[in-house]
Amino acid sequence: MPYTLNVYALPKLVEPAELAGGTSLVIDVLRSSTTIVHALEAGAREVVPCLEVEDAVAAAAALPPGEAVLGGERQGLPIDGFDLANSPEEYTPYSVGDKTVILTTTNGTRALMHARQARRVLVGAFVNATAVFEQLLGQEKIDLICSGTDGQYSQDDVLLAGMFVERLSREGGLTYQHNAQALTAREYWLHRFPLPHAVGGEGLDTDRLIDELRMSLGGQNLVAIGLDDDIAACARVDQFQAVPELDTATFRIRAAL
């Protein structure tokens, strides 16, 4: 069986059953993926993604008092009655340490639900890019699922997907078959960050990455509601080592081992 490396610019572009048997990487750069990484790095026990606000409130109520932190957004804005929004830097050891984060977002949690038939479901962002790359090494079937923004393609997610396609193709040691979206994403990354260029960490032009994220549909939405600082937080490549992994049986996210 050939090794496959596919990109889907939106979850709806792949049937959930097509993801079975492989490793799916869910990408929501602005901001759910980045927030989940921040939460786990800050010492949260786990992150429980919920599709609806009501589901999140019920999940929090089912835990002992003081153990749950409600976080999330709708249309980018904080949810009334929640403890935290979806700004990554709100997730600190003080706010989420040793707690269960119940998270509901407009795009990212839906993409996670879409991917749950995969053998493994990981969460990727620029802030943990190299750690994710290392988890993907040697995987025979990789599907990169971009969350998009309100059901529309968003360049921030595709940019990161293209970075992974480029790095895995060049450094992964395997020869992959790609779908058309993977080839397009790789070309998009190389157009914005031509070789020779660091794939992550030292050498990457952070200011340029911030500009690229700001110009995406998700970035424009954040700028419009005054959350430009979140874009900078999402552009700190390789800030962390945690790779969130979804337990598809319990639908809870913990750091991959």
Domains of the chain, by residue range, sit at: 3-241
- For residue 86, count other CB atoms closer than 10 A to its CB: 29
Q: Is the pLDDT of residue 185 over 80?
A: yes
Question: What pLDDT, on a 0 to 100 scale, did the predictor assign at position 196?
Answer: 61
What single-letter DSSP state applies at residue 139? -
Give the position of tokens 């600082």. 229
- What is the per-residue pLDDT for 257? 80
Instruction: Please give the helix or strand (H or E) that residue 214 lies within, else none.
Output: helix 206-215
Q: Indicate if the pLDDT at residue 244 is higher than 90.
A: yes
CA distance 196 to 199: 9
Q: Are 186 and 124 in contact (CB under 8 A)?
A: no
One-character DSSP codes across 50-118:
-SSHHHHHHHHHTSPTTSEEEEEEETTEEPTT-SB-S-GGG--HHHHTTSEEEEE-SSHHHHHHHTTTB
The pLDDT of residue 194 is 87
- Asked if 28 and 147 touch (Cβ cutoff 8 Å), the reply is yes
CB 27 within 8 A of CB 6: no
Amino acid found at 153: Y
- Answer for the pair 100, 45: CB distance below 8 angstroms, yes or no: yes
Mean pLDDT, range 102-110, rounded to an integer: 95
When comparing pLDDT for 132 and 205, which is higher?
132
Mean pLDDT for all residues in the chain: 95
Q: Is 255 helix (H, G, I), strand (E, B) or coil?
A: strand
What is the pLDDT, as a whole number, of residue 82?
98
pLDDT cut 70: percent of the chain above it: 96
pLDDT at 200 over 80: no
Q: How far is CA 160 from CA 133, 150, 228, in A?
A: 11, 18, 19
Q: What are the two backbone dihedrals, phi and then psi, of residue 73, each rounded to the nearest 5 degrees?
A: -155, 165
Alpha-carbon distance values, 22 to 25, 115, 146 (Å): 10, 10, 16
Classify the phi-psi angles of 127: left when phi > 0, otherwise alpha if psi is within -120 to 50, otherwise beta.
alpha
DSSP 10: S
Pick 3-241's CATH classification: 3.90.1560.10, 3.30.499.10, 3.40.50.2300, 3.30.428.10: 3.90.1560.10
